[in-house]
Amino acid sequence: MHFVDKLTKNITLKIAVNTRFLLPGRLEGIGWFTYHTLKILTARYPDVKFTFLFDRSWDEKFIFSDNVTPVRLFPPARHPVLWYWYFEFSVNAYLHRNPHSVFLSTDGFLSLRHNATPQVAVIHDLNFEHYPEFLPPAVGKYYRYFFPKYAQKARSIATVSEYSRSDISAKYNIPKDKIHVVYNGASEIFKQVDSATKTAVINSLTGGYPYFLFIGAFNPRKNIVGLFRSFDLFCEKYGTEHRLVVVGEKMHWTAEMEEVYSQMNFQSRVIFKGRKQGEELNRILASADALWFVSHFEGFGIPIVEAFKAGVPVLTSATSSLPEIGQDAALYCNPKDYEHIAQSMHAIISSSELRNSLINKGLERATRFTWEHTADALWQVLFSAIHP
């Protein structure tokens, strides 16, 4: 038993958690981090009282155990003005009325007005500092004004990569010993499938054609323009019959994305499947020739670990945290060099030696990233914030 677990048995802990990213059917990176870590911790520590703070009605599947009390605070915090109201007034008032041992915010937002409760911020990355053009102006301005203050306010900060740890420290002048790396995990749902399953999935999705797969929200940061342009170049230059299967919501479908997509020569080969989760997503992923994940910026990049677990080669970006997470188990590209991306796509499908190497290294690499490990690391951050 870890020393933190031993100490926990001798005290009563009450942990309040900002859970506004637990949205039914709409979990993205922050949502999955919140879901998996809290599901593990609430089950592991039945004597700890958890208060989940929601900004709207919650789904009962997120109330993981009897030691979880859900509370809805007003207003629904989905706009910069409402974010301020929610955290500076609603969360502040609630924590004053209901003392807790610590307040955990898995999306990094804290209450600057509140001083009674130690606060832990999970700041996943600073993409809004590096690529402000990829966010609506009001949102980006809010982030760039308040996140330096949240970082200073936090008793402790958790982040999902060494890259982000160094970035937060340098950008906001935060001592590195205040920032703790808590790597993301990947669900055990993701695993290899047999050849019969692959054939069935390929026939169903593409009419029997092999495909590259993209998974993610349609955010400019994900390099959707580069996805379309590099796929077009790949098809034109190498004459294959591959398709591009796109899994995700058009959350931030921009005019530039629309223009580039409309001008594609091989537009008919792009297949949009919307949001997929669970076993269905695993079958789609595990049947792909490769995962295309050449983002401009990522704090971690959960889909590449999911692909590793599913035995699928990964093509990703040589920027931000991605080389740290993938190491020698992925093939790397400059996200702005579409010719190079297309060449790398061809290399993955044409070299069995490269494919097998990436698959084997990916399977090994995936063992290092589990949600159990994530929960362990987050728990130690929480406990150290309560007992500095």
> DSSP secondary structure string, 39-71?
HHHHHH-TTSEEEEEESS---GGG--STTEEEE
- For 3-185+370-386, CATH number? 3.40.50.2000
Measured between alpha carbons, how far is 268 from 113 in angstroms, rounded to an integer? 53
For 195-250, what is each residue's pLDDT tens digit?
Answer: 999 999 999 999 999 999 999 989 999 999 999 999 999 999 999 999 999 999 88
The residues, ordered by sequence, that sit 6+ positions from 131 with a Cβ below 8 Å of its Cβ are 220, 221, 296, 297
Domain boundaries, the chain: 3-185+370-386, 195-366
- For 195-366, CATH number? 3.40.50.2000
For 50-98, what is each residue's pLDDT tens digit?
Answer: 999 999 999 999 999 999 999 999 999 989 999 999 999 999 999 999 9
pLDDT of residue 128: 97
User: What φ, ψ does residue 225 adopt, rounded to 5°?
Assistant: -60, -45
Place of tokens 């990233």: 369
Q: Which two tokens stand for residue 259?
A: 């223009």
Amino acid at the residue 356? N
pLDDT of residue 4: 47
The residues, ordered by sequence, that sit 6+ positions from 288 with a Cβ below 8 Å of its Cβ are 211, 212, 213, 245, 312
**Mean pLDDT per 10-residue section of the chain, whose length is 388 residues:** 47 90 85 97 97 96 98 95 98 98 98 97 98 94 98 98 98 98 96 98 98 94 97 97 94 92 98 94 98 97 98 98 98 98 98 98 98 98 91
Measured between alpha carbons, how far is 304 from 322 in angstroms, rounded to an integer? 9
pLDDT of residue 11: 57
Helices (H), the chain: 3-8, 29-44, 80-85, 92-97, 127-130, 137-153, 162-172, 195-206, 224-238, 255-262, 278-286, 302-309, 322-326, 338-350, 352-366, 371-386
pLDDT of residue 3: 40
- Given this chain, do its domains 3-185+370-386 and 195-366 carry the same CATH topology? yes
pLDDT of residue 1: 42
